[in-house]
């Protein structure tokens, strides 16, 4: 079942190691088949070096295991909520990468200090609040997903233009049109998180890049009249 998607998700999980985004088993990638209403995700607590495509777990949008010898990631319910609430995404990734997680633990949005950030992420990367004790006890992982989606709605943030979020005292999630692009965005997030931290260390009073500059860099790459790269 979903053998091609399993391979895609497996390869995306391996990219987490290549891009130095995970330590031990601290992360997971998933990818969805929208037509079937099923997604594939890394199994819980299994070392990356022990994995094969056939080890990926198939679940439905309620988080029920449909196929696989391993239990799915403990973050499966968060992925499921994001797939339901963000209908145009095809892949989700969660890591505990050092720099992005440091911003999450500090409880801060990541400001857009320059064009590297603006090329890939529109505006600041939001940091959502910590879950309440009731939310944690009731359904921690599902409520994490709900909180992310609700925050994007509350702040009127476009989830395609801003494909990443920080969860306070936890870590980052990122997404994309497929599993590979989700990891790509997670790697970008880690780089801009590091740049922003270093920027504030060098100049504690630094201000974000002007909105004109941010818009120029984002829309020349992603807008209707984008001209970055080669025409197809």
Catalytic residue positions? 119, 228
Question: Which of 123, 127, 111, 104 has the alpha carbon at shortest distance from 200?
Answer: 111
Quick check: 126 and 165 in contact, CB under 8 A? yes
CB within 8 Å of 84: residues ≥ 6 apart: 61
- State phi, psi for 71 to the nearest 5 degrees: -70, 145
CB within 8 Å of 209: residues ≥ 6 apart: 112, 113, 114, 115, 117, 118
Secondary structure of 191-206 in HEC code, one letter for each residue: HHHHHHHHHHHHCCCC
Quick check: 175 and 159 in contact, CB under 8 A? yes
Residue 227 burial (CB count, 10 A): 9
For 54, counting Cβ atoms within 10 Å of its Cβ (0-12 exposed, 13-18 middle, 19+ buried), the class is exposed
């Amino acid at each position: 079942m979903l053998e091609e998607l399993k391979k895609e998700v497996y390869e995306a999980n391996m990219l987490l190691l290549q891009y130095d985004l995970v330590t031990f088993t601290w992360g997971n990638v998933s990818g969805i088949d929208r037509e079937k209403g099923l997604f594939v995700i890394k199994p819980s607590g299994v070392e990356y070096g022990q994995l094969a495509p056939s080890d990926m777990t198939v679940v439905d949008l309620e988080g029920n295991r449909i196929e696989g010898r391993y239990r799915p990631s403990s973050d499966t319910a968060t992925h499921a909520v994001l797939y339901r609430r963000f209908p145009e995404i095809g892949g989700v990734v969660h890591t505990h990468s050092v720099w992005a997680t440091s911003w999450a633990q500090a409880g801060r949005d990541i400001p857009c200090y320059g064009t590297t950030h603006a090329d890939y992420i529109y505006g600041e990367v939001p940091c959502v609040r910590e879950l309440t004790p009731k939310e944690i006890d009731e359904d921690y992982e599902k409520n994490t997903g709900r909180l992310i989606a609700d925050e994007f709605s509350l702040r009127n943030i476009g989830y395609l233009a801003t494909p990443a979020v920080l969860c306070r005292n936890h870590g980052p999630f990122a997404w994309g049109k497929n599993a590979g692009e989700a990891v790509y965005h997670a790697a970008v997030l880690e780089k801009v998180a590091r740049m922003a931290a270093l920027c504030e260390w060098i100049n504690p009073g630094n201000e974000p890049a002007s909105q004109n500059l941010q818009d120029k860099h984002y829309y020349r790459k992603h807008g209707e009249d984008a001209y970055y790269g080669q025409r197809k």
